[in-house]
Structure 1
Amino acid sequence: EKKEILKLHQWLHDHHITAIITMKSSVADLGSRYDFVNYLVDCIIQLNRVVDERVSTRRIEVVKYRGSNFSPGMFAYVIRKGGINVISIAHAVREEPRLGAVISSGLPKFDIMLGGGFRMGSCILISGTTGTGKTTIASTFVEAASDRNEKTLYINFEETTDMMISLIANLGIDLKKALDDGNLNILATMPELKLAEEHLVDTFDVILDFKPNHIIIDAISACYRMGSRQAAFDYLIALISHCKQKEITCILINQSDKTDMFAGLTGIEVSSLVDSIVMVRYIEGQGELNRMLMVMKSRGFNHSNQYREFNITENGIDILDVFDGEGPVLTGVARKDQETKELLAQKQRLQRIAIQKQNLNQMRAALEANTAKYLAEIEASSKTLETLELEENMWQNNLNDRRLLRGITFDKQEGK
């Protein structure tokens, strides 16, 4: 067998023929039985299967390629209609393009919290426990994007398309219009149905055909069900890198199973790749659960560091104003009670101020009245004094006249 292979190699070499030779072998065969082949060929491509957590995936590896700076390591590949698709996780895009223009989240108060809004082509993580409103926030963004005539690809691992549109419509968010306008494409699938590589290739095909401006993955925590933790990580890294390269805004929704603020934030270690992190959580108090929203990270923006309570209503999300009451941040009934107490205390203060102003005005009025009275008395006394002084002057003048007429001098009068 060895001699025949050597003869074939020499014949191909002599006739300058490029040949592709396939060989079915095990790892042991390559290391012993066919070891000499490594020295004859210019390129060796090895195909095999790798089992990770009971999930078998295809891998391709370039073992040798003379005169080429080939990429080492094994890469996943998928055999499908049209040929083989190789997925390079290890060589994801390193040099990311600059972030684009600022776009609205669809919630003006949320935009203020973010420092202006989202950046086109950025990666946003919305993380929180079940029922906190993550999908509602994302759907609000989809509706606003459609109003701007921007396309969104929504990858839903949790619900069917009809169920998603129906449930979100109860909150006043019309995704059917975005779907009918051609600005929304919902890719609803179960993670268990395919391998991570197959999900990824299908997503790339949809991106190529639909050309979305934004992509939403709901939820990245469901990616574990694709087979393994590593498969989920590889899927997300490849998809995020692809989106950044294409300048597509990527919104990741993560369902955390922890009620703690920071525990299980991302679920999968991708937080270093995201540009904005939004935390939604429940706060329990006085027998009720209230939803809270916080922007933990918004790259390039002076974002808010405040918790904001929000409600999910039949008209969508209603973000309450910043709690400016005394003491710690309160929510729900406790907030209303505190606001009522502070409003009552304010009314009492204003009432006391009004009473004090009234008393002061009365005192000023009394002072002015007394002042007017005294001024009148002074004026009267002044006029009386003037009259008396006038009478005295007249009497003195008459006296002087009489003395002159009688020949009486002041010296004689004084001598007497």
Structure 2
Amino acid sequence: IEQLLRPEAQTTVFHPSEVDLNKVSKLLMDEVSKTRPARIVFDSLSEFRLLAETALRYRRELLNLKQHFAECGSTVLLLDDKMDRGLIGTDPHVLSLSHGVIEMEQLSPDYGTSRRRLRVLKLRGLKFREGYHDYIIETGGLRVFPRLVAAEHHAKSRPPKHVSSGIKELDDLFGGGLDRGTATLILGAAGTGKSTLALQYVKRMALNGEPGLIYAFDEARAILLGRAKALGLDLEEHVESGVVTVQQVDPAELAPGEFVTRIRKQVDGGCKVVVIDSLNGYLNAMPGEKYLNNQLHELVSYLNHKGVVTILILAQHGLLAAAEAPVDLSYLSDTVVSLRYFEAAGEVKQSVAVVKKRSGPHEKTIREFKLERGQGVRVGQPLREFRGVLSGMPVFRGAAEEIMPATDGKE
């Protein structure tokens, strides 16, 4: 017993965390005290958690480090792994020690590149924009695309100003033309002339020196410009001068937030007309259909506040039968234009009608719509001898001579 009570015979057993964690913490604090850094990156807390082994020891050591770093005046960035699909998997007591918390996540769609987004969960003493914000990883670091909030861009109310297409019959349909600060939705089956109708306005505004932006989701840039030239709507000169910008978009590689940021940059640079061709491609660029309406609503509202002429193109399913749109976006649009096929005198014809216009009166008739090489868009007289054109099942009750005749140009 006397031998056991001797001081040299007494020993104390330490838990490994008491030794290893203390060494690491002391090394960190000594280095910080020596170098006095402005910023400290701790990568990662998961390794620190393994050294601590117990939750209580882990929390105490982090609190000790926090107090030491605060005395040094350093800005500390702590990195940790997300453990589940809910909130951050980090200990809630650790979150309470932090002045700010940023959550980052990666989504993997069935096809295409991964989508990355972040959100600020907490930031003491500062106002921040809530919700998810897309970001991409590129050479040089991260590029974040803040979520668009249209309410931050309210402008003073202004009287509507018409934009002419240069075609009298078409302007009559719209009650004088498209209004600035409004969105126009062009509906129609494949091949009815939706893109060409939009190009007519881009071309006309470009001739007046007003910049335009075309986002082509469904068509290659070279093909779009070549087709426009063949129809007499040559845009190459305006593209070369920078008045018109045509951007081909790959929906599988585009982050939704990046798309909105691109448009904002062009509008801030003075763009007066924006064409999205088509919303079907824009829909495919979303990680899920439930995001489309909200994001598009913010985008359209922003463009309207900026006084931009917005033209949205939506392809409908089916050709000659009753067509249906893949998603209902008519409530977002101030003007809705319907393009339809119909049969007359053994030929497939097209019709155009304005079915909605919020900003003023418009013509209620249905007119023939024709595309001709070198002639561009032609709009005929009202089709008063037809019944059921918009239903997709028209019945012709008049004479063939009342249909718009072809010109020397080939359709």
Q: Same fold (TM over 0.5)?
A: yes
**1:50 is the counterpart of 2:110:** no
1:23 aligns with 2:86: no
Contact 2:185 2:314 in 1 (8 A): yes
2:218 match: secondary structure: coil
Partner of 2:21: none
Q: Which secondary structure does the structure 2 equivalent of 1:27 belong to?
A: coil
- Of stretches 134-143 and 309-318 in structure 1, the one that deviates more from structure 2 is 309-318
Q: Structure 2 matches for 1:55-74, cutoff 5 A?
A: 56-74=114-132
Cα distance change, pair 63–236 in 1 and its aligned pair in 2 (3 A): same
> Which residue of 2 is the match for residue 13 of structure 1?
70
- 2:400 aligned with 1:337: yes
For residue 277 of structure 1, the aligned residue among 322, 336, 350 is 336
Number of aligned residue pairs: give it. 335
Per-residue CA deviations over 1:19-52 (Å, capped at 9, x if unaligned) read 2322221235976762211221222111122345
Stretch of structure 1 that moved more, 6-15 or 274-283: 6-15
TM-superposed CA distance for 1:132, in Å, is 0.3
Structure 1 position 201, deviation (Å): 3.5
Match of 1:39 among 93, 96, 100: 96
1:52–1:228 contact (8 Å) kept in structure 2: no
User: Which of 226, 233, 236 is residue 166 of structure 1 equivalent to?
Assistant: 226
Partner Cα distance (1:229, 1:168) in 2? 31
SS of residue matched to 2:360: coil
For 1:308, the equivalent position in structure 2 comes to 367
Give TM-score, length-normalised by structure 2.
0.71
Verify: 1:132 aligned to 2:192, yes or no. yes
What residue in structure 2 maps to residue 299 of structure 1? 358
2:303 counterpart of 1:243: yes
Following superposition, the deviation at residue 339 of structure 1 comes to 4.8
Distance 1:281 1:59 in 2: 40
Deviations 1:130-173 (A, max 9, x none): 01011111111112111211111111122223222222222222
Q: Which amino acid in structure 1 is aligned with residue 168 of structure 2?
A: P
Change (3 A) 1:332 1:143: farther
Indicate how the Cα distance of structure 1 residues 279 and 121 shifts in structure 2: closer, same or farther if over 3 A, else same: same
Q: Are positions 1:256 and 2:316 aligned together?
A: yes
AA at the equivalent of 2:310: C
Deviation, 1:307, is: 1.2
Find the counterpart in structure 1 of residue 133 from structure 2: 75
Q: Which residue of 1 aligns with 2:211?
A: 151
User: Which stretch shifts more, 92-101 or 183-192?
Assistant: 92-101
Tell me the TM-score normalised to structure 1 length: 0.70
**Matched position secondary structure for 1:240:** helix
Q: Distance in 2 between matches of 1:179 and 1:83?
A: 31
Picking from 173, 179, 182, the partner of 1:113 is 173
Distance, in Å, in 2 between the alignment partners of 1:156 and 1:30 is 38
Deviation sequence 1:185-213 (CA, Å, 0-9, x none)? 111232223333333344444445x5311
State whether residues 261 and 281 of structure 1, in contact with CA within 8 Å, keep that contact through their aligned partners in structure 2: no
C-alpha distance 95-249 of structure 1, shift in aligned 2 (>3 A): same
- Quote the offset at 1:93 in angstroms: 3.3
Distance 1:233 1:151 in 2: 27
Instruction: Using the aligned pairs only, state the percent identity.
Output: 23
- Which runs of no fewer than 5 residues in structure 2 stay unpaired? 1-51, 53-57, 404-411
SS where residue 88 of structure 1 aligns? coil
**Separation in 2, partners of 1:19, 1:155:** 42
> What is residue 406 of structure 1 aligned with on the other side?
none
Show CA shifts across 1:274-321 (max 9, x none). Answer: 211111011235643221111011112111222111222231222111
Q: CA 1:31–1:283 in structure 2 vs 1: closer, same or farther (change >3 Å)? A: closer
User: What is the Cα-based RMSD across aligned positions, in Å?
Assistant: 3.3
Bigger fraction of residues in helix: 1
